[in-house]
Amino acid sequence: MKDSPPSPPPDHELEEGIERRRQQRDRWRREGERPLAQNLAMIGALGWLIVLPTLAGIFFGHWLDRREGTGLTFTAAFLVAGVVLGAALAWQRMHSS
Protein backbone atom coordinates (compact mmCIF):
# COMPACT_ATOMS: atom_id res chain seq x y z
CA MET A 1 0.00 0.00 0.00
CA LYS A 2 1.44 3.34 -1.02
CA ASP A 3 1.48 6.31 1.28
CA SER A 4 -0.51 9.15 -0.13
CA PRO A 5 1.17 12.56 -0.20
CA PRO A 6 0.27 14.87 2.67
CA SER A 7 -2.75 16.98 1.99
CA PRO A 8 -2.06 20.68 1.50
CA PRO A 9 -3.07 23.06 4.29
CA PRO A 10 -6.36 24.88 3.88
CA ASP A 11 -6.13 28.01 1.75
CA HIS A 12 -6.68 30.40 4.67
CA GLU A 13 -3.73 28.91 6.59
CA LEU A 14 -1.51 29.21 3.56
CA GLU A 15 -2.58 32.80 2.96
CA GLU A 16 -1.99 33.69 6.64
CA GLY A 17 1.47 32.17 6.49
CA ILE A 18 2.35 34.07 3.32
CA GLU A 19 1.09 37.34 4.81
CA ARG A 20 2.99 36.77 8.07
CA ARG A 21 6.20 36.09 6.12
CA ARG A 22 5.63 39.22 3.98
CA GLN A 23 5.18 41.34 7.12
CA GLN A 24 8.37 39.92 8.64
CA ARG A 25 10.32 40.67 5.45
CA ASP A 26 8.95 44.23 5.29
CA ARG A 27 9.80 44.83 8.94
CA TRP A 28 13.34 43.52 8.38
CA ARG A 29 13.77 45.84 5.38
CA ARG A 30 12.53 48.82 7.42
CA GLU A 31 14.35 48.16 10.67
CA GLY A 32 17.26 45.98 9.62
CA GLU A 33 18.71 43.21 11.72
CA ARG A 34 18.65 43.48 15.50
CA PRO A 35 21.94 44.56 17.10
CA LEU A 36 24.17 41.89 18.63
CA ALA A 37 23.61 43.28 22.14
CA GLN A 38 19.85 42.92 21.75
CA ASN A 39 20.23 39.33 20.54
CA LEU A 40 22.47 38.51 23.52
CA ALA A 41 19.97 40.11 25.90
CA MET A 42 17.21 37.95 24.40
CA ILE A 43 19.32 34.81 24.91
CA GLY A 44 19.98 35.78 28.53
CA ALA A 45 16.31 36.47 29.18
CA LEU A 46 15.32 33.13 27.65
CA GLY A 47 17.86 31.37 29.86
CA TRP A 48 16.42 32.93 32.99
CA LEU A 49 12.89 32.09 31.86
CA ILE A 50 13.90 28.43 31.91
CA VAL A 51 16.21 28.45 34.94
CA LEU A 52 13.98 30.27 37.45
CA PRO A 53 10.90 28.00 37.19
CA THR A 54 13.19 24.96 37.24
CA LEU A 55 14.95 26.10 40.42
CA ALA A 56 11.64 27.05 42.01
CA GLY A 57 10.32 23.57 41.24
CA ILE A 58 13.40 21.93 42.75
CA PHE A 59 13.25 23.98 45.94
CA PHE A 60 9.49 23.53 46.38
CA GLY A 61 9.70 19.79 45.66
CA HIS A 62 12.62 19.38 48.06
CA TRP A 63 10.69 21.22 50.76
CA LEU A 64 7.66 18.94 50.23
CA ASP A 65 9.85 15.82 50.24
CA ARG A 66 11.45 16.81 53.56
CA ARG A 67 8.05 17.66 55.05
CA GLU A 68 6.39 14.44 53.90
CA GLY A 69 9.44 12.15 54.04
CA THR A 70 8.98 10.96 50.47
CA GLY A 71 12.56 10.80 49.19
CA LEU A 72 12.82 12.52 45.82
CA THR A 73 9.26 12.07 44.59
CA PHE A 74 8.11 15.68 44.76
CA THR A 75 11.52 17.05 43.79
CA ALA A 76 11.53 15.05 40.55
CA ALA A 77 7.91 15.93 39.77
CA PHE A 78 8.36 19.65 40.36
CA LEU A 79 11.69 19.64 38.51
CA VAL A 80 9.93 18.33 35.40
CA ALA A 81 7.05 20.76 35.90
CA GLY A 82 9.51 23.68 36.24
CA VAL A 83 11.38 22.72 33.07
CA VAL A 84 8.12 22.37 31.12
CA LEU A 85 6.83 25.70 32.43
CA GLY A 86 10.13 27.43 31.67
CA ALA A 87 10.29 26.00 28.16
CA ALA A 88 6.70 27.09 27.50
CA LEU A 89 7.46 30.61 28.75
CA ALA A 90 10.62 30.80 26.62
CA TRP A 91 8.73 29.52 23.56
CA GLN A 92 6.01 32.10 24.10
CA ARG A 93 8.60 34.88 24.52
CA MET A 94 10.48 33.86 21.36
CA HIS A 95 7.36 33.97 19.25
CA SER A 96 5.98 37.20 20.68
CA SER A 97 8.75 39.44 19.36
Predicted pLDDT of residue 48: 93
In this prediction the pTM is 0.63
Name the average pLDDT for the chain. 88
* Rounded-to-integer distance, Cα 81 and Cα 32, Å: 38
Predicted pLDDT of residue 77: 97
